[in-house]
Amino acid sequence: MKPIFIFSLPRAGSTLLQRLLNKSEKISTVPETWMFLHFLSFNKDLPTYSTYSSFHTKNAIDDFVQINVGKENFQDNLIEFFERTFIDAVGNNDYFLEKTPRNLIIHDEITSLYKDDAKYIYLLRNPISIALSMMNTWGGGHWNIYTFKQDFHYSINNLVAAVESSYQNKLVVSYENLVKNEAEEIKKISSYLDIDSNSLLSGELEVLQGRMGDPTGQIKYKKVDSSRADNWQNQIDTYAKQLFLRKLLKSIGEVNMESLGYNYSATRETIKKSGRFNIAAEIKDVLRYIYGCIYLRVQPFILRDIFLGKVKTALR
């Protein structure tokens, strides 16, 4: 069973694409496994804090693989493990669709593991639209982008590198094009996967059961809604959001925006407050931003767990 990987930032429309592809009888899927992150991130040189020391874990596994098992054998065993686990989960099929947005952090580890024995779909969406969707979904409509720093730092750089790479066995899809020109984009995706496009264009979207994935759109939308492509432009309801989103855009950079297919200047001009002035909303966004600055430097959830005795220490 060949895996299909959808690589995207969170709130980029990956659950929508997953539900569309789930209509094919050749494709099986579950909401999000997060399994590859656990098994492939041990070898990535990123700071990871735990009670057992991820730094020593990485060194121990590296030695074990290099000295006792062999890297190629270890990778073959991982592929076999993943395939058997997928079959146990959904039965045997032509494809298993894996959709976990944070997989972008280990993008290179996944592609070096499977090489041409998998399909890779890169789903793009305007990062400012993504940020507003994150706020509306998980922040009650207020600033919360500090909790997604890794997505706008590690992940977006990996996404840009993958899109710009000369690797041929991939497909790049725009969320905006998908919802505006569903039939055309579905035909392109179906051709890449060698599946029937007609089955993807008929019937309603099935709800995928599980705690991960889109917690709102699955219930609200049974079909592709073209109005979702640009509705973010009317969701900037405070001057604080306008300022902070422009700072976010600047941190992403003009080069990255252009590489993803979005005009930097036009996006910046579109980031404008709309609607009536609401002093309470302004204050809340400012306080959230200040809290976010503290959050990123102090990591209060680690201090909280230490204070409550849930962990004695957090080791790298």
Q: Please name every residue paired with 171 in a beta bridge, in sequence order, or none if there are none.
A: 121
Structure tokens at 21: 């592809």
What are the phi and psi torsion angles at 260 (to 5°)?
A: -85, -5
For the chain, where are the alpha helices, taking DSSP H only?
Answer: 14-21, 35-40, 54-63, 71-90, 107-114, 127-138, 156-164, 175-180, 182-193, 198-201, 217-220, 239-252, 254-259, 264-270, 279-298, 300-307
Question: Other C-beta atoms within 10 Å of 118: how many?
Answer: 18
The pTM for the full model equals 0.92
Amino acid at the residue 57: T
Summarize pLDDT for 195-215 with one digit per residue, the tens.
Answer: 999 988 877 888 887 887 777
Per residue in 32-66, pLDDT tens? Answer: 999 999 889 877 777 777 778 888 888 899 999 99
pLDDT in tens, 273-306: 998 999 999 999 999 999 999 988 887 777 777 7
pLDDT tens by residue, 134-190: 999 999 999 999 999 999 988 999 999 999 998 889 999 999 999 999 999 999 999
Q: What is the dihedral of CA 280, 284, 287, 288, to 10 degrees?
A: -170
CA distances from 295 to 143, 290, 291, 298, 315 (A): 13, 9, 6, 5, 19
Q: How far apart are CA 23 and CA 199, in angstroms?
A: 6
At residue 312 the predicted structure's pLDDT band, cuts being 50, 70 and 90, is low
- The DSSP H or E segment spanning 234 is none
Phi, psi of 173 (to 5 degrees): -125, 135
Phi, psi of 179 (to 5 degrees): -85, -25
